[in-house]
Amino acid sequence: MALRAARWGWSRAGWQRLALVLLWLGHGAWVILGSKPGRHWTNVADVVSRPSQGLASRWAAWRTARRDAGRTLAETRAENVRLSAELAQLKTQAAQEAPRLAEADEAVRLLGLKRQIPLELKSARVIFSTRPATFGGLILDRGLDLGLLPDQGVIVPEGIVGRLWSVNATQSKVLPADAPNASVGVMLMRSRATGVLQGLGSGRALIRYVSNQEVVQVGEAVLTSGLDRVFSRGLLVGYVAEVAQGDLELRVIVNLAAPLDRVNTVLLLPPQPPLEVQPPFVPVDQKPQKKKGTP
């Protein structure tokens, strides 16, 4: 039995050596770690667990960022839908307000023209246009109810439109200045030569009875002469587009200034207006004469 215990177990000297080694190890650990070894174990645990903590922190940050991004995307889409609805509403309002604004602008322009011409002018609206036809014209919404009469001059801020051709109880028809059967007494602004404007259609007209001796330049303004007693002198008709020599007279083509295809509101001159309602035009190249004795 004694041999079996010695073979499978330790002797008393062995156990003493083990106890001594453990004592020395414990003393060495106490000397190395100090009086508070728990702090060092905590540091060691922190170092060991730091990678896993960083990984967990990054995972949590990624999930938070993804959640915030999803929420931001949803909010952005909702904001886009709201802004699109507001934009569509504003476009609809702008489309509804466009006719009113156009009428307001037209009224302001006509008021400015009324202030420039010291005559009793009446206004009317164009309700229909038959201009594509050869002898087409403009239909106004006023007639005898406004005291209108045939051959009254029709104008807009850009220039003359034509004259009243026929008048009934509540409507009137305007013969445009570019109609083949229309005629207007005109004069050239620079040369002061007079003639008769006859329509050619499509916003163009021909000045007849201008002598070959006259000097007419392309781009020169054409004004009403007042001799037809439909328009007073000095109203803009258009601008010279072409000049060519003829057998007895110049062939002067004029582009009318008034947009006859886009007229909405017009002003009507009184019947047989006065010949002159504005100061006479002074040529651009004419300089005022100096009085004697002035430097």
CATH, residue 128: 2.40.10.340
In the predicted structure, residue 209 carries a pLDDT above the cut 90: yes
In this structure, the answer to whether residues 127 and 262 fall within a common structural domain is yes
* Of 4 and 27, the one with more pLDDT: 27
Q: How many domains does the structure of the chain reveal?
A: 2
Phi first, then psi, for residue 198 (nearest 5°) are: -120, 135
> Is the residue at 172 inside a domain?
yes
Residue 164: Cβ-neighbour burial (10 angstroms; 0-12, 13-18, 19+): buried
Give the tokens for residue 172: 């009137």
User: What Cα–Cα distance (Å) separates residue 264 from each residue in 10, 27, 107, 114?
Assistant: 124, 111, 10, 16
Q: Which of 116, 134, 158 is the last residue of a domain?
A: 116
Does residue 167 sit in helix, strand or coil?
Answer: strand
210 in Cβ contact with 249 (< 8 Å)? yes
Supply angle C-alpha 242, 248, 254, rounded to 5.
20
Q: Residue 249, Cβ neighbours under 10 Å: how many?
A: 16
* Of 194 and 95, the one with more pLDDT: 194
Q: Alpha-carbon distance 282 to 238, whole Å?
A: 18
In this structure, the answer to whether residues 112 and 126 fall within a common structural domain is no
- Residue 95's domain spans which residues? 11-116
In this structure, the answer to whether residues 176 and 212 fall within a common structural domain is yes
DSSP H helices in the chain:
2-8, 12-33, 37-116
In this structure, the answer to whether residues 167 and 235 fall within a common structural domain is yes
Q: Is the pTM of this model over 0.95?
A: no
In this structure, the answer to whether residues 22 and 107 fall within a common structural domain is yes
In this structure, the answer to whether residues 103 and 148 fall within a common structural domain is no
> Is the residue at 194 inside a domain?
yes
> Is the residue at 286 inside a domain?
no
> Is the residue at 287 inside a domain?
no
In this structure, the answer to whether residues 84 and 32 fall within a common structural domain is yes
Q: How confident is the model at residue 36 (pLDDT cuts 50, 70, 90)?
A: low
pLDDT per residue as tens digits for the range 235-264: 999 999 999 998 889 999 999 999 999 899
Q: By mean pLDDT, which of 4-8, 139-143, 176-180, 216-220 is the weakest?
A: 4-8
- Mean pLDDT, range 155-170, rounded to an integer: 94
In this structure, the answer to whether residues 78 and 132 fall within a common structural domain is no
Q: Which residues are bridge partners to 125 per DSSP?
A: 265
> Is the residue at 183 inside a domain?
yes
Q: Which of 86, 116, 146 is the last residue of a domain?
A: 116
In this structure, the answer to whether residues 32 and 67 fall within a common structural domain is yes
Which residues neighbour 145 within 8 Å (Cβ) at sequence distance 6 or greater? 169, 170
pLDDT per residue as tens digits for the range 60-104: 888 788 777 777 777 788 888 888 888 888 888 888 777 766 767
pLDDT at 44 (0 to 100) = 65
In this structure, the answer to whether residues 197 and 68 fall within a common structural domain is no
